[in-house]
Amino acid sequence: MGQRLSPSEVEFYHEHGYLALPKAIPDEDVEVLRRETTEIFRGKYAVEGIVPLSESATEDECLGEYLCIHQPHKLSAVMEGFLAHPGIVGALSDLIGPNVKCMQSMLFVKPPGFPGQAWHQDERYIPTEDRSLTGAWVAIDDATVENGCLWVVPGSHRDALHETGSQPDNDEYDGIGEIALDVPTGRAIPLEIEKGGVLFFNGFLLHESRRNRSTRYRRSLVNHYMSGESRLSWCGYDDFPDVKIVLGVDPHPERGFADLSKPWLRPAGAVRHQ
């Protein structure tokens, strides 16, 4: 199952809404993830918007024009395997419970100069009936303030959902979607973490990322999980059926399963970068 959390780590998560686990993913596994990321954006798999490149193309040539692909686990066995990586599911058993399912993965490249995501709460967009939504943010590269690490407002997971509005017209954010309003930004802190570390965060936690102001990539794999017992009112379904059990068993097999979500690339035209 992987390394379990200590009582103090579980307490920290419930108090602050997030938890950082340094070196949760071994270096050799991070390297596999890094190589597969390059292959995905090289065009190893057919994804609309990704231009296939030859084997001689450099990493920069493969990655330099892309920000994020959604649902990479639907096309890559490597990405699918990371949904249930021991460095992730051990902690999830303590944060969520014995039965855990995943409904979404996102693979961020974030090249130099590319923007981040505006303040938001994941539960606004992925609503679980028991507030069990939990993100696992896997650092493929060292994530720093300079290259656009995650920022959070500790304790904001105890808030209700914030109202949202249009994003400000600047180069900090990607311009996709909305921004949470009335964010107490004076309490915000950066969560820098070395490659192989995993950041777990509650679905109600206010978080953002900022523009990559470095000359380095900030690659990360972000998976979203929830209790196997809970229903997910998402994508027009009362209980979204395209999920994968990553820990324990499916408590409700009678609800059924359907292969619905497909990998998709964030449109390059929506990305504002310098």
Question: What pLDDT, in 10s, does the model give residues 178-230?
Answer: 999 999 999 999 999 999 999 999 999 999 999 999 999 999 999 999 999 99
Q: Is the pLDDT of residue 150 over 60?
A: yes
CA distance 261 to 71: 7
Residue 273 confidence (pLDDT): 41
Residue 235 confidence (pLDDT): 93
Q: Which domains does the chain have, with CATH numbers?
A: 7-270 (2.60.120.620)
Higher pLDDT, 175 or 27: 27
Q: Is the pLDDT of residue 107 over 50?
A: yes
Residue 266 confidence (pLDDT): 83
Short-list 199, 226, 224, CA closest to 131 = 226
Stated pTM of the model: 0.96
In this structure, the strands spanning 164-166 and 134-139 are: unpaired
Q: How many other CB atoms are there within 10 angstroms of residue 222's CB atom?
A: 19
pLDDT band at 272 (very low <50, low <70, confident <90, very high): very low
Percent of the chain with pLDDT over 90: 92
Q: How many other CB atoms are there within 10 angstroms of residue 90's CB atom?
A: 18
Residue 99 confidence (pLDDT): 98
Q: Which residues does residue 171 pair with via DSSP β-bridges, in sequence order?
A: none
Mean pLDDT across the chain: 95
Residue 1 confidence (pLDDT): 67
In this structure, the strands spanning 68-70 and 207-209 are: unpaired
pLDDT band at 6 (very low <50, low <70, confident <90, very high): very high
CA distance 87 to 229: 22
